Amino acid sequence: MTCRADETNVADQTVHLRSWVTPGDVPAEYPKIKIWQAARATSAAPAYFQRLTCDLNELVDVPEGTVNGTVSFIDGGMVENNPVLELMSEAILTYGPKRKVGCIVSLGTGIPAKLVFSKGALPVGDVISMLTNSEKPVRKAQSLSLPLPLNGVPKFFRFNLSAPAVGDSTVDGKMMVKSLLQKVKPYSEGSEKDAKLNYAELFKKMDDWRNLTALRTMTEDWIKKTARPELEKCVGMLTAKDWQEKTMLVAA
């Protein structure tokens, strides 16, 4: 999923780049887009990468020269940072409203920032955190999943290694990352210097392959202490004998 980043009169700028055929009443969006273009479009986070700009003639299924101009894309996370609601809608469009939904799994990949509203203008970083908050759609998806066939059966599972799950719920994301990285030798060697690292530098350290073991250990501890009951229920839904008759949805 990506987002239009050019001038358009379309209110919803979200774009679905599909690798499957949708029913006739769902128009294909840019069906001729190449795999590398789709990868660039869906990962073009404005803070890190330049937007992808393409010639419209290369993307739409019409005779060459019929359309003119270009279209630009940025990461869809700017409008749908958690695609679980879009995924649920897509399942209904693809399989129809009567298809049973056996399990919906939402995998959290971020740490919610702790926001404090003041009387003055919000910093740009706080505004971006609000726009890209991936936790807000979770509550909606949880309630909307109940009336889906199988009606009334709890089928939504959310797994996210976040601050409340590993200790003090008053700790914000930045403090949690520091706490995590202090368990890693490359981080703790320069504790005084590293204490002054900004948020972006902290997350660069999280991407360091040398820290994967510590991250995995922390995740396993979180599952044991917090998520095991939900995880076992989820596994039961995914491995049910009649799983072939149901739709299983996973959003990350």
User: What is the per-residue burial (b if ≥16 Cβ within 10 Å, else e) of 214-246?
Assistant: bbeebeeebeeebbeeeeeebeebeeeeeeeeb
Where are the chain's structural domains? 2-78, 84-251
Question: Do 51 and 102 meet the contact criterion of CB atoms below 8 Å apart?
Answer: no
| 105 closest CA partner among 228, 240, 249 | 249
- Other CB atoms within 10 A of residue 199 CB: 13
pLDDT tens string, the chain, 252 residues long: the values are 778 777 654 446 788 888 887 776 777 788 899 999 999 998 888 777 889 999 988 888 777 667 778 889 988 876 777 888 888 988 888 888 888 899 999 988 655 555 555 555 555 455 445 554 557 778 888 888 988 888 888 899 998 876 454 444 444 555 555 565 565 544 444 444 444 455 556 666 666 777 777 778 878 888 888 889 999 999 999 888 887 788 888 887
Whole-number Cα distances in Å, 14 to 2, 8, 23, 158, 249: 6, 12, 19, 24, 20
Q: Give the integer Cα–Cα distance in Å for 216 and 158.
A: 18
